[in-house]
Amino acid sequence: MAVCISVHEAAHAWVAYKLGDPTAKMAGRVSLNPMRHLDVLGTFMIFIAHFGWGKPVPFNYNNLKHPCRDSALIAIAGPLSNLVTALLIAIVIRYVHPPLAIEGALSAIYSLSIILFLFNLIPIAPLDGSKLLGFFIPRSKEDWYQHFLSQGPFFLILLIIADRLLDGAMGFSFFGTYLQYGYEWITVGLFLIT
């Protein structure tokens, strides 16, 4: 988990820096050191709820030349870094054939990388997918968009609770189904291109 979160958050920080905002770099977040990215509550929740998060990467919207577009680029950097990590692991497993213990660890990182990629693409704040909408928001609607982002965590929690209740009552989970089929399709795709 620490590897996947560190890669994800470091990618956000690096892209923010490349787009002109030094905030994350000055905070030491352009780093693969897990200690710079782990959130205390998010890490604790991994053990309690099997669901956690890293410390959000800070960036200053005002330092970006094209705030909505650049925010979207910063957002997509995290999930894409997880997809690239999964691709590299697929290549290693397929062509290097590491010892079984190492392959097991790599397989766990591979699986979690794909799950983080898929989950973070959901277009509800604070997930990265919500910021991808910035590519499509006209300047006249930026205030509405910022309000939408501020309300997202509340709706995400409601959706997760509703999904859990639906799963318990009917045995169907939207998130579980989305992650399962997404995982299978990405795995097939990655192994076809490697």
User: What are the catalytic residues?
Assistant: 9
**Tokens 């318990």 — which residue?**
168
Please work out, in degrees rounded to the nearest 5, the angle formed at the alpha carbon of residue 166 by the alpha carbons of 49 and 151: 70
Phi-psi sector, 11: left (phi>0), alpha (psi -120 to 50), beta: alpha
Nearest to 58 by CA among 97, 86, 30, 34: 30
For residue 154, how many other CB atoms are within 10 A of its CB?
Answer: 11
The token pair at 97 is: 């054939």
Nearest to 54 by CA among 21, 76, 32, 85: 32
Phi-psi sector, 149: left (phi>0), alpha (psi -120 to 50), beta: alpha
* CA pair distance 156, 153, nearest whole angstrom: 5
